[in-house]
Amino acid sequence: MISDKQIMRILVDRAIEETPVLDMHTHIYTPCFGDLLLYGVDELITYHYLIAETFRYTGMPYARYWAMSKKEQADFIYQTLFIEHTPVSESCRGVLTVLRKLGAPVGGSLNSIRDYLKRFSREEFVDKVFELSHVDRAVMTNDPFDEQEHAVWRSGYVADRRFVPALRLDGLLVYFEKNVDTLVRRGYRVSRALDETTFAELRRFLEDEIGRMGAVYMAVSLPDTFRYPDDSVATRIIDECVLPVATRLNIPFALMIGVKRQVNPGLLLAGDAVGKTAIESIERLCADNPRTKFLATLLSRENQHELCVMARKFRNLLIFGCWWFLNNPSIIDEMTRMRLELLGTSMVPQHSDARVLDQLIYKWTHSRSIIAAVLKDKYADLMDTGWPLREEEIRRDAGLLLGGAFEAFLKLRFEE
């Protein structure tokens, strides 16, 4: 006789496994963007997380690594992290999960893995990754100031429903000075003076880009030093441009805060670190703009509890993901338990942040198993109260946690 809880656990595993994911933040691209879409084992192994880990074992000058070819870099990382050391880190384990799911020779030589993967064309590989990861749609990070990407939006964009656009605003909010000339060249009457004309033209720019892309939200990655409000360019453009457009179009403004940029420039993209966010900035934005929707993910573990409390106070705030340095089993487990206990299913436990297409496979395989484990414990507690948990509730919750809560938030409109 199997117990009710054993049946529950089987139903949770099945629901989480069978529910397709809407991945709300990634760095992958629709195939029409060409080599902006990174995929394959050499890209997987030279992911900046593994670069940082590799340099812990070598005194090699950074420049010597950067002078290598992509293949040589991958060979060096594989030799260091997988042969000379045991690949126990989450980034290394992720590579191996991808290879296992693809049927590649895990533990084999890198050349044998490369040879195995030659069987897929680019299009077949995209299909294979979405099939194995069971991701239904992935939201992109679309930077209007990336000239290579912008050219495709201008001509050559071919929509693929699996890739959902999102407008990235770092070029406006963090690097405005650098991009003024580009905006002028594109026909926007803006100036560094940040006068009314500039604000109006920046609003027009945002609406043009959102319309061109069909962006589902506007996002920005802000440093740990970000404060709102203050007398910075960022605050002024947020107040005069981003918030009015987000409210008028009813699309969320996604705040990703806490990066301490380039603490070690020699590591390039791997050189960023983490700092604690001033949670009051989130509080003020949500409190002062009750009709505007905000998404938020913070990079510091120390911010996670107060971010959950903020979400309890402000219904126009949806918190999401275990971002970057938090995307490790021990912390995903801790954050998902805390969020379920404080917010129920009104939160988004995970996004992949996949930068290489293949990563969808491991980031979701690993996170699905943690989300399932946490749900089982929570349901067991619920069943101990005598609540008659039903399978349709388990399936409903799996749908909400794996993208449904995000999708419902996109549709929400706050009138007052």
Question: By the criterion CB under 6 A, which residues form the site for ligand HDL?
Answer: 27, 141, 221, 256, 269, 324, 353, 355
Site string for Zn ion, 295-334 (x = CB under 5 A): ----------------------------------------
Residue whose entry in the numeric block shows the structure tokens 């919750």? 397
Given Zn ion, ligand HDL, none, residue 269, with its beta carbon under 5 to 8 Å by kind, binds ligand HDL
Residue 245 or 299: which CB sits closer to Zn ion?
Answer: 299
397 near Zn ion, judged by CB under 5 A: no
For residue 346, the minimal CB distance to ligand HDL (Å) is 23
Are 64 and 54 contacting, i.e. CB atoms less than 8 angstroms apart?
no
272 near Zn ion, judged by CB under 5 A: no
For residue 98, the minimal CB distance to ligand HDL (Å) is 16
23 near Zn ion, judged by CB under 5 A: no
For residue 336, the minimal CB distance to ligand HDL (Å) is 18
Given ligand HDL, Zn ion, none, residue 186, with its beta carbon under 5 to 8 Å by kind, binds none
- The total number of residues written for the chain in this structure: 416
User: Amino acid letter at 161?
Assistant: R
163 class by beta-carbon count within 10 Å (0-12 exposed, 13-18 middle, 19+ buried): buried
Residue 81 or 356: which CB sits closer to ligand HDL?
Answer: 356
Given ligand HDL, Zn ion, none, residue 360, with its beta carbon under 5 to 8 Å by kind, binds none
Rounded Cα gap, residues 34 and 30, in angstroms: 8
For residue 353, the minimal CB distance to Zn ion (Å) is 4
Span interacting with Zn ion, options 151-159, 201-209, 345-353, 399-407, rule CB under 5 A:
345-353
For residue 68, the minimal CB distance to ligand HDL (Å) is 21
224 near Zn ion, judged by CB under 5 A: no
For residue 352, the minimal CB distance to Zn ion (Å) is 9
Given Zn ion, ligand HDL, none, residue 116, with its beta carbon under 5 to 8 Å by kind, binds none
Cα–Cα nearest to 271, from 66, 96, 25: 66
Rounded Cα gap, residues 40 and 138, in angstroms: 18
Given ligand HDL, Zn ion, none, residue 46, with its beta carbon under 5 to 8 Å by kind, binds none
Residue 222 or 311: which CB sits closer to ligand HDL?
Answer: 222
Rounded Cα gap, residues 131 and 56, in angstroms: 35
Residue 149 or 201: which CB sits closer to ligand HDL?
Answer: 149
Given ligand HDL, Zn ion, none, residue 324, with its beta carbon under 5 to 8 Å by kind, binds ligand HDL
Residue 93 or 395: which CB sits closer to ligand HDL?
Answer: 93
Residue 173 or 256: which CB sits closer to ligand HDL?
Answer: 256
Residue 281 or 359: which CB sits closer to ligand HDL?
Answer: 359
List the one residue from 90, 353, 358, 397 that touches Zn ion (CB under 5 A): 353
Span interacting with Zn ion, options 99-107, 157-165, 184-192, 353-361, rule CB under 5 A:
353-361
Residue 289 or 327: which CB sits closer to ligand HDL?
Answer: 327
Residue 209 or 353: which CB sits closer to ligand HDL?
Answer: 353
Residue whose entry in the numeric block shows the structure tokens 């030589």? 109
| Binding residues with Zn ion: total (CB under 5 A) | 1
For residue 115, the minimal CB distance to ligand HDL (Å) is 29
